[in-house]
Amino acid sequence: MGKEKSDKPAFQLKVPKGTKDWEGKDMVIRDKIFAQITEVFKRHGAVTIDTPVFELKEILSGKYGEDSKLIYDLADQGVYRRDQPAMAKGRMREFYQCDFDIAGTYDPMLPDAEIIRITCEIFESLGWQGRYTIKINHRKILDGIFSVCGVPQDKLRTISSAVDKLDKSPWTDVRKEMTEEKGLDPEVADRIGEYVTKKGGRELLEVLTKDAKLSTNESAKAGLADMDLLFTYLSSFDVLDRVSFDMSLARGLDYYTGVIYEVITEGSAPQTATDSQTKPKKETKKPAAAANGEEDDRSNDPSVGVGSVAAGGRYDNLVSMFSGKQQIPCVGISFGVDRIFSITKQRLASSPAASAAIRTNEVDVYIMAFGGKGFDGLLPQRMALAKRLWDAGIKAEFSWKVKPKLPQQFKAAEANGVPFAVILGEDELKAGKCKVKEMGLPEGHAEKEGVMVELENLEQEVRTRIEKANARAGDALAGGMAGLGV
């Protein structure tokens, strides 16, 4: 934390590739996102855990399987997620993730349903009502489909990874990958295509349950029974309309064993087919940006997948990889804070009023002094009043000048959007009074010029006015992303 007077530093230090210094309104927005996520997590009984930013290599490589190319070896050349940063999209090397996981043995689909409820509460607390979709699918249904369609055992993983690209590529491209690149029998591919291009709600579940082929497969039947129960629970939680049963959702990581989730939103739109087919982007990189330690924001690695703001699923076997014999069923979700931040920022960019309402500090009171000829600045008095307000827990500041000019003090308060001024004058102080002025009142307002209050009641007078102003402005001052209209 720091206290600085300008939003823009006059010079810029270089930071490592894929990282950024967080400051100004960006920092405020990110903090609000963290605060909303934390509040919802705690509402659902979360206990907080925090792990080191780096882990022993054998642990990460055990967990990530195919994606282990995304891990940095510290003996190597850098740190953190080892793919191409896309800063404006929130794809960074240093990134934040908030995870909610439920570990333990419970009755089927109850923790799974609560994870989806939590996800809805978070995106609605961020003001995203009607602008996000939770795609869901089930590992066992996918396995059943691949099995009844005749995918050979040794091609399961690679075919599943091809299916997962259906969010950014049309079926014809994915089919081509399956048959031409991965050597799958075209008839098998066509049978898969009939299933994985479907999406819908409960009605799709009914269609699949009646499907002659799938109903012979134990894995598919178990997955469909799970989904039926999940839909019932989501209905009790009143969030059924936020989910889309999307049979193309396969997720890259291969440790999922049950339901899988992925949340998409406006602004996290999948790349166009053209984008995803673009070959290595080196040629389009602007040398100036690259020299500055930043990458072309349009660069994307199509093998990694972009577009989701949260994702997760059930992973019942992962813990036993580390514990030895002990099996602990788990289900969880990760919220991509940097991605959510980028989308929030894009939306704010098209709403100048909401953007202007974001303050970088939270000071409620600026203590000022004024006087005529021979005015000494009333510094001890300003300091003593600041001390009283701080003791009362009120956020307050004053000019760090011995004899500040009144217009400069007003300018400083206005620059930070401070809502109240406490104004000291020598005559008023002698009478045991000072002026409290609410900033930004319209011309003609009865209290436009401020009101005189008793010095001895200052804390109470100020507190009452702050509370009233906050209530009047709804949440616009107190914060809350929904209040910012994004």
Do the annotations mark residue 175 as ligand-binding? no
Residue with tokens 């507190």: 463
Rank residues 253 and 363 by Cβ distance to a second copy and give the closer one: 363
The token duo for 76 is 């190597």
**Distance separating alpha carbons of residues 199 and 204, to the nearest angstrom:** 7
Do the annotations mark residue 191 as ligand-binding? no
From 18-26, 191-199, 256-264, 272-280, span contacting a second copy (CB under 8 A): 18-26
**Distance separating alpha carbons of residues 478 and 486, to the nearest angstrom:** 15
- Here's the x/- map for a second copy, 44-63, by CB under 8 A: it reads as xxxxxxxxxxxxx--x----
**Distance separating alpha carbons of residues 416 and 14, to the nearest angstrom:** 27
Per CB under 8 A, does 19 bind a second copy? yes
CB of 334 to a second copy, least distance (A): 11
**Residue 419 near residue 438 (C-beta atoms within 8 A):** yes
Strand partners, 333: 100, 312
Residues from 126 through 185 that contact a second copy (CB under 8 A): none
Per CB under 8 A, does 317 bind a second copy? no
Do the annotations mark residue 255 as ligand-binding? yes
Do the annotations mark residue 101 as ligand-binding? yes
**Residue 402 near residue 457 (C-beta atoms within 8 A):** no
**How many CA atoms within 13 Å lie on the side-chain side of 75?**
2
- Here's the x/- map for a second copy, 345-364, by CB under 8 A: it reads as ---------------xxxx-
Contacts of 362 (CB under 8 A, 6+ apart): 395
- Amino acid identity of residue 299, one-letter, is S
Residues from 70 through 129 that contact a second copy (CB under 8 A): 74-79, 94, 98-104, 106-107, 110-111, 114, 117, 121
Rank residues 77 and 153 by Cβ distance to a second copy and give the closer one: 77
Do the annotations mark residue 366 as ligand-binding? no
**Residue 268 near residue 343 (C-beta atoms within 8 A):** yes
Per CB under 8 A, does 444 bind a second copy? no
- Here's the x/- map for a second copy, 380-419, by CB under 8 A: it reads as x--xx-xx--x--xxxxx--xxx-------------x---
Residues from 206 through 235 that contact a second copy (CB under 8 A): 233
Per CB under 8 A, does 471 bind a second copy? no
CB of 40 to a second copy, least distance (A): 8
Binding-residue total with a second copy (CB under 8 A): 89
Tell me the residue ranges of DSSP E strands in 292-383.
Answer: 308-314, 330-336, 365-370
Q: How many residues does the chain have?
A: 486
Q: Do β-strands 433-438 and 420-425 pair in parallel, antiparallel, or remain unpaired?
A: antiparallel
Q: In 10 A of CB 121, how many CB atoms?
A: 19
Per CB under 8 A, does 16 bind a second copy? yes
Per CB under 8 A, does 427 bind a second copy? no
What residues are designated binding site for L-histidine?
A: 81, 97, 101, 251, 255-256
